[in-house]
Structure 1
Amino acid sequence: MSDQKGFTTTILHSDRLLKPEFGALHQPVHTAVTWGYDDVQGLVNVFQNKAKGYAYSRQGNPTVTALEHKVTQMEQGMATVAFSTGMAAISATVFALVKAGDHIIASSFLFGNTRSIMQTFMDLGIDITFVDATAVENIKNALQENTRMVFIETIANPATQVADLGSIGDFCEEKGLVYVVDNTMTSPYIFRPVTVKASLVINSLTKYIGGHGDALGGSVTDTGLFNWVNYPNITAVLRQQIRPEMLGITQIRKRGLRDGGGTLSPEAAHTIAVGAETIALRLDRACANAAALAGFLDTHPLVSKVYYPGLESHPQHGLASSIFHRFGGLMSFALHDGVDCFEFLNHLKLVIKSSNLGDTRTLAIPVAHTIFFELGAERRAEMGIPDSMIRLSVGIEDTADLLEDFRQALEASKA
C-alpha cells in the first residue's frame, strides 16, 4: 500500500504528524516573541544558519512553521515562507530577488493592488513590461537581456483571463528566468503551479486556503525547480552558508520577511491552518455554485456578458479545462446598458456587498467603482472592465437559494 495520501487527508493530519506538545492535534499557538538558550552557541548557530531553531518571531515561530509546512505539502513544493498578507508576500519576493536595473515581465491583467505595487517597483528603478499573458508569444517578445523574473496570475481578477501557464513555464525554464505564479484565484486544490515549472508560488492565505474571512495571511512556496546557483542576485553571505537549493527561499525569508517585517501572527497562522483543512470540501461546493450561477446569468436578458472560465464561450475555456481541476469560485458579469449595477446590488438579499474573496459566503462588489477605481477609466478599458461589471466570490450556500436571490434582484432591477 502506498504511503502517499490524498489532498485532504494530508492536510488534515499535517499538524499531528509533526508531533506537537502533549499529543495536540493542532500546533498550539506560540505567542512568544523570543526564545532563550541555555548554551549561547545554540543561539549563535540559529543566527548563522547552522542549526534549525527560533530566535525572534519576526522571522520564525513554531505555529507559523506548522502552517508553512502545510502550504508546502499543498503545493508539493520544497519550502514555504508565510507573511502577514498576500501583498506582503508579493512585495517581499520582488524586493528580495530583484534589483534596480533588472527587468520583470508581468501580466497586464494583474489585480489592482498588485499592479499598484508593481508601479512602486518601477518608481524604484525596476523595469517592468506588462503583456497579455494569455499567449506565450507576448512573453517572448518582451524578453530583455536584464530580464530576471516573469510574474503571472493563474486566473485574472476580475475578468478571469487564464494565462498560458504551461508554455510560459517552458520558456522561463529555457531562459533561466524566475517564474512566479500567483495561485490565489485557483488555490493548490484546483491547480499546482509546480506542474507548469513555476519557480515560486504565491498564495493569499486570506482567500481560499483560510477560507472563512477571519484571518489575513500570505505565502511564498519554492517548488525546488529553479537553479538558484546561477541567479546573480543571491547575496554572497548566503552562498557561503546555505545549501544551493535553499538559496532563493532563504533570501526571501531574510531580506523579505526579516528585513521587510511583514510577519504573520501566530494567532492568524493557527486560524488559517484550521480553516485549510476543509478547502477541498468548500471549493467543491463553491465551484459547483459558480458554475450554476454562470449558466443562469449567461442566458439572462439583463446580463450582457459573463466572465467565467467554466463557460464554453470563455476565450480560454479549453486551456482552463486542460490544466485546472475545477474552474474556481471567482466570476464576474456585466449588466446591459440601462440597468443600474448599484440598484441591482442593493436588491440582493442573501449576497453580501463586500470586497473579499474566498469566503464561505457569496460576496459581490462593483469593480470599476471600488477595487479598480484608482486605475482610471482608460486603464480599466484596456483591461476589459466595463463600468457595469460586478465581481462575485461565490460561496457555499445552497445553490437554489443563490439562484433565487439573483433572479429576484434582476427582476427588481428591470427598467
Structure 2
Amino acid sequence: MTAQGFTTNIVHADSAFGTEHGAVHKPVHNSVQFGFDTVEDLIGMFQGTLKGAYSYSRQGTPTTAALEAKITRMEDGVGSVSFATGMAAICGLFFTLLRSGDHLVMSQFVFGNTNSIADTLRGLGVDVSMVDATDAQAVAAVVRPNTRMVFVETVANPGTQIADLEGIGALCQQHGLVYVVDNTILSPALFRAKTVGASIVMNSLTKSIAGHGSALGGSLTDTGLFDWTQYPNIAEAYRKGDTAQWGLTQIRKKGLRDMGGTLSADHTHRIALGAETLVLRQRQASASTLALAQFLESHPAIAKVNYPMLPSHPQHERALKHFSAGSWLLSFELRDASDMLAFVNRLQLPVKATGLGDTRTLIIPVAPTIFWEAGAEVRAAMGIADGLVRLSVGLEETADLLADFKQALG
C-alpha cells in the first residue's frame, strides 16, 4: 500500500495498474481464449517463461487480475487469487495445500459450510481438530508434528465469537504453521489480518467487499509472512521463481485451474465497483448495528445479544484492540423462544433470507435453517440455541430500523 488512504487506493487502483483506451474502470473481458503472435509465446505461456499473459479464462483474465490486485492492496499482501464463491476459495485452499495424513486445526465456531468441509477432509485422510479458538491455548493443546494449518474466522457466524487472533498468530509462527484467517465479516476496511500474523487471508467477496447482494465471489490473499520454502506440500513444479509466490502459484494451478471455480468477468466487475464504497458502507452498517444491539440488549423481551462492540461480549476488549468497528453481524435470543417466528414475521424492514453483507437488512432464525443440517450436537458446541436469530444489518436509516424493531417487540 502507498501512503494514500484506504479508499483512495481502491478508487484509483484500476488507473494505477493501467486500463485500456483510457477507461476509468477496468473493462469486462469476457473472452475465453487469448491468442498469441507466435507459437513460441504460446509455449512460453504454458511453461511459465512468458509473464503477464493469459491463456484460458478459467485461470484468470485481465478483469480478475485487476480485482486481485485491488484486494492485495486492501489486505497489504503479496498477491491474491479470486474464485467464483467464498466456498470455492476455501475448498481451493484446503484441497491444494493439505494432503492425506496432514492435520488441520479449525475453530469450532466456523461458518456451517466450512464446518461441513471438515467432514469431507476427514474422508480424504486429513485429520481435523475443532477447538475453541477464542483461547490460543486450546489450539496449542492439539498441535502435533503433522499439523500443517490453523483456520479461524475473525468474527464467528452467527455467535460472533472472536478468536484469539494475536495469540494464535504467535503460536503458528512458533510452529511454522500456515495461519488462515477468514476476514469476511469485518473486511480489510475494519481489520487487517496481517497485523496478527496471518499467512493467508480469505474473503467471501460476496459479503462486505461487494456488498450489494448482486455478485458471488471469493479470494485468498498471501500476506507474505509465511516461508513457503519450509512447507512440505508445495509440488516440485511450483518450487521456482519468487518463493513468496509458491503458495499462491499452487493454489492458482491446482485449486483454480484444476477445480474450475472461476470468478466470472461480470461478477468481478460488480465486486470491483462495490469495493469502492466498502469503507462508507462498513461505517454506516457498523453504526446502525451497534445502536440496534444496544437497544435489543436493554429490552426486557430479549435474553441475550451477541455483538463484539457491546461491553457484555466475552471478547469485547479483544474487539476494541483489533477492530476499528464491529461490522454488520449480530445475533440475539428472545426470552420466549416460542415467539421467535411470530416476531420475525412482525418485522417489516428486514428481508427474511439467508446471506450476509447486503445493502438490505437480512434476518433468519438460525437453528431450523442454515445450521439445521449440522445437527443438535454441533449447534450446542457452537452455542447456537434453538431461539437464536441472526441479523445482517444493511444501509437503512438507523432510526427506521430501531422503529421497526420497537413495533415488532411491542
Query: Could you say which TM-score interval applies, normalised by the shorter chain?
Result: over 0.9
- Equivalent position amino acid for 1:279 in 2: L
Q: How far apart, in 1, do the equivalents of 2:342 and 2:40 lie?
A: 66
Q: Which residue of 2 aligns with 1:83?
A: 83
2:304 pairs with 1:305: yes
CA contact (8 A) 1:302 1:339 kept: no
Q: Which residue of 1 aligns with 2:260?
A: 261
1:100 CA displacement: 0.6
Q: What do residues 181-212 of structure 1 show as CA deviations (whole Å, max 9, x unaligned)?
A: 00001101010111011000000000000000
Secondary structure at 2:18's aligned position in 1? coil
Secondary structure at 1:288's aligned position in 2? helix
Alignment of 1:316-335 (within 5 A): 316-335=315-334
Q: How far apart, in 2, do the equivalents of 1:307 and 1:109 lie?
A: 14
CA contact (8 A) 2:337 2:387 kept: no
Q: 1:339 to 1:406 in 2, by over 3 A?
A: farther
Q: What do residues 114-156 of structure 1 show as CA deviations (whole Å, max 9, x unaligned)?
A: 0001111111110000000001000100101100000010000
Q: Which residue of 2 aligns with 1:181?
A: 181
1:338 CA displacement: 5.1
Q: How far apart, in 2, do the equivalents of 1:329 and 1:318 lie?
A: 18
- Equivalent position amino acid for 1:66 in 2: A
Q: How far apart, in 2, do the equivalents of 1:341 and 1:51 lie?
A: 59
Q: How far apart, in 1, do the equivalents of 2:45 and 2:225 lie?
A: 26
1:43 CA displacement: 1.4
2:349 pairs with 1:350: yes
1:39 CA displacement: 0.8
Q: How far apart, in 2, do the equivalents of 1:263 and 1:269 lie?
A: 10
Aligned residues: 409
Percent of aligned positions with the same letter in both sequences? 55
Q: How far apart, in 2, do the equivalents of 1:200 and 1:173 lie?
A: 13
Q: How far apart, in 1, do the equivalents of 2:48 and 2:181 lie?
A: 28
CA contact (8 A) 2:108 2:381 kept: no
Q: Which residue of 1 aligns with 2:92?
A: 92
Q: 1:338 to 1:307 in 2, by over 3 A?
A: closer
Q: How far apart, in 2, do the equivalents of 1:44 and 1:128 lie?
A: 41
Q: How far apart, in 2, do the equivalents of 1:89 and 1:378 lie?
A: 27
Q: What do residues 359-406 of structure 1 show as CA deviations (whole Å, max 9, x unaligned)?
A: 111110000011101111122112111111110001111111000111
Q: Which residue of 2 aligns with 1:216?
A: 216
Q: How far apart, in 2, do the equivalents of 1:337 and 1:3 lie?
A: 52
Q: How far apart, in 1, do the equivalents of 2:49 and 2:335 lie?
A: 63
Alignment RMSD: 1.0
TM-score by length of 2: 0.98
- Structure 2: give runs of 5+ residues left out of the alignment: none
Q: What do residues 97-120 of structure 1 show as CA deviations (whole Å, max 9, x unaligned)?
A: 000100000000011000001111
Q: Which residue of 1 aligns with 2:67?
A: 67
Q: How far apart, in 2, do the equivalents of 1:49 and 1:223 lie?
A: 23
Q: How far apart, in 2, do the equivalents of 1:141 and 1:366 lie?
A: 34
Q: How far apart, in 2, do the equivalents of 1:383 and 1:86 lie?
A: 21
Q: Which residue of 2 aligns with 1:13?
A: 12
- Equivalent position amino acid for 2:166 in 1: G
Q: How far apart, in 1, do the equivalents of 2:341 and 2:241 lie?
A: 55
Q: How far apart, in 1, do the equivalents of 2:113 and 2:264 lie?
A: 22
- Structure 1: give runs of 5+ residues left out of the alignment: none
Q: How far apart, in 1, do the equivalents of 2:353 and 2:403 lie?
A: 20
Q: How far apart, in 2, do the equivalents of 1:193 and 1:111 lie?
A: 18
Secondary structure at 1:296's aligned position in 2? helix
- Equivalent position amino acid for 2:263 in 1: L
CA contact (8 A) 2:337 2:386 kept: no
Secondary structure at 1:358's aligned position in 2? coil
Q: How far apart, in 2, do the equivalents of 1:270 and 1:242 lie?
A: 30
Alignment of 1:116-195 (within 5 A): 116-195=116-195
2:224 pairs with 1:231: no
Q: Which residue of 2 aligns with 1:375?
A: 374
1:3 CA displacement: 5.4
Q: What do residues 67-126 of structure 1 show as CA deviations (whole Å, max 9, x unaligned)?
A: 000100000000000000000000000111000100000000011000001111111110
1:51 CA displacement: 2.1
Q: How far apart, in 1, do the equivalents of 2:89 and 2:299 lie?
A: 40
1:339 CA displacement: 4.3
Q: What do residues 294-316 of structure 1 show as CA deviations (whole Å, max 9, x unaligned)?
A: 00000111110000001000000
